Amino acid sequence: MKYDKINSNLFKENRARFVAQMKPNSIAIIHSNDMMSRNGDTHFAYRQSSDLFYLTGLDQEEVILVLYPDCPRGNQFKEIVFTKATNEHIAVWEGYKYTKEDASQTAGISTVFWLDEQQPLLNELILLAERIYVNTNENDRAVLDYPSRDVRHALALKKEYVGHHFERAQPIFKNLRMIKSSYEIDLMQKACDITNSAFRRVLATTQPGMTEYEVEANIIYEFTRQGSSGHAYTPIIAGGSNACVLHYIANDQVLKAGDLILMDFGAEYANYAADLSRTIPVNGRFTPRQKAVYNAVLRVKRAAENLLVVGNNLADYHKEVGRIMESELINLGLLNKDAVRHQNPSRPLYKKYFMHGTSHHLGLDVHDLCHRYVDFAPGMVFTCEPGIYIPEENIGIRIEDDLVVTNGKPLNLMADIPIEVEEIELLMQAKV
């Protein structure tokens, strides 16, 4: 793995919290992700299931985790990992794979078997249990075009063990993964620090005549150099009018003097995501109008950050951010105060220029698994990303940082990343 070894206490503590929410005499079976075919006999780069990684730290295909906290057979069977057997042939053709000892040390689980040893042991354990926890993808943003490995095996279990009660693992994962431990915050800080280096490289190299993909190349260079596995999500590198396309990912146009470039990117480190947005002038100088809009977005962002506090919730938070945005859009001459006063509350006028949400949970997934309708609590990590998009003026500006909810003021994991107009201009001009 490119990242440094992770303290196995993270995964031990995650499992302890998970089994504490399981019903009595239950067994949970969690699978790794599939290897995804790219074309011919090649595959896409492997990305582990966030749920399996959360509980084990095992970053390899063909892994099964079995949790049976009430197992009557003995303590050694309360936590089991089944993993793909390695041998000299695999080592020559595919490289390193976990030995039983390595898997045990990584996950902090003493009992490890090869996959071909799972029967009849797994069958015996299932028959001893009354309930089976199976895992499906319940991220409400997910678009599922095919059944995952977890789902395929869950369907097979339901067919074979018709007398058992089946339970959903995802509600437990949602409760747990929303609250990050200090170990996780440290990993996310590392992802943000790598993202900081990439942005500073962009400031030092961007100039008129470059293409958007050249900017992207500078980002991925810094990611790779510092041990990131790459982008946490498909990056947006949007110059000029492209910045007004919210999910622009072509990244293939030439950057022009006088235009802005909106960038939304983040490093993935140890499977944890950073999520940054910054908007900069291609030629290193904001025009007065660009600066005015930029600073309006920045004021909204700073006001929004102060709302990411214990006891608030996403619904009330987004309403208040919309109210703050209305005031800024009026001051920019984009909205009329009287029209805002008489607007339809269900269709606020600010949505013409700021049409997306301000914050989402962040963690092992860039849009992390969560309950949308619970109050903010310490340990939750949110993005904060207001924006203003004015196609008729060729202006699209979004500014985003990642913040941890605490018992006091939110902790900004991106506090060291340049954000002020003056600092951005100074760093861009320094390359000349």
The string of DSSP letters for 202-232 reads: HHHH--TT-BHHHHHHHHHHHHHHTT--EES
Candidates 268, 305, 400, 402; catalytic one: 400
In the residue annotation, 368 being an active-site residue is answered as no
What single string gives the DSSP state of each residue in 175-199? HHHTS--HHHHHHHHHHHHHHHHHH
Candidates 328, 385, 401, 402; catalytic one: 385
Candidates 133, 248, 317, 389; catalytic one: 389
Q: From CA 292, how far away is CA 346, in angstroms rounded?
A: 28
In the residue annotation, 367 being an active-site residue is answered as yes
Q: From CA 306, how far away is CA 310, in angstroms rounded?
A: 11
Q: From CA 77, how far away is CA 207, in angstroms rounded?
A: 60
Residues whose CB is less than 8 angstroms from the CB of residue 115 and which lie 6 or more positions away in sequence, other chains included: 62, 64, 82, 83, 84, 85
In the residue annotation, 400 being an active-site residue is answered as yes
The two structure tokens encoding residue 420: 């002020």
- The structural domains of the chain, with segments of one domain joined by +, span 9-177, 182-429
In the residue annotation, 356 being an active-site residue is answered as yes
pLDDT score recorded for residue 431: 63
Q: From CA 365, how far away is CA 361, in angstroms rounded?
A: 9
pLDDT score recorded for residue 138: 84
The class of domain 182-429 in CATH terms is alpha beta
Q: From CA 66, how far away is CA 407, in angstroms rounded?
A: 35
The class of domain 9-177 in CATH terms is alpha beta
Candidates 225, 356, 371, 372; catalytic one: 356
Pair 246, 286: CB distance under 8 Å: no
Candidates 193, 264, 328, 425; catalytic one: 264
- In three-state secondary structure terms, 337 is helix
pLDDT < 50 regions, the chain: 432
Candidates 212, 216, 222, 275; catalytic one: 275
Q: From CA 79, how far away is CA 75, in angstroms rounded?
A: 8
Candidates 41, 101, 116, 338; catalytic one: 41
Candidates 89, 101, 116, 247; catalytic one: 247
**What are residue 196's phi and psi, to 5 degrees?**
-60, -50
pTM of the model: 0.95
**What are residue 30's phi and psi, to 5 degrees?**
-120, 130
In the residue annotation, 41 being an active-site residue is answered as yes
In the residue annotation, 316 being an active-site residue is answered as no
Candidates 3, 149, 398, 402; catalytic one: 398
In the residue annotation, 389 being an active-site residue is answered as yes
DSSP state of 24: T
Pair 423, 412: CB distance under 8 Å: no
In the residue annotation, 150 being an active-site residue is answered as no
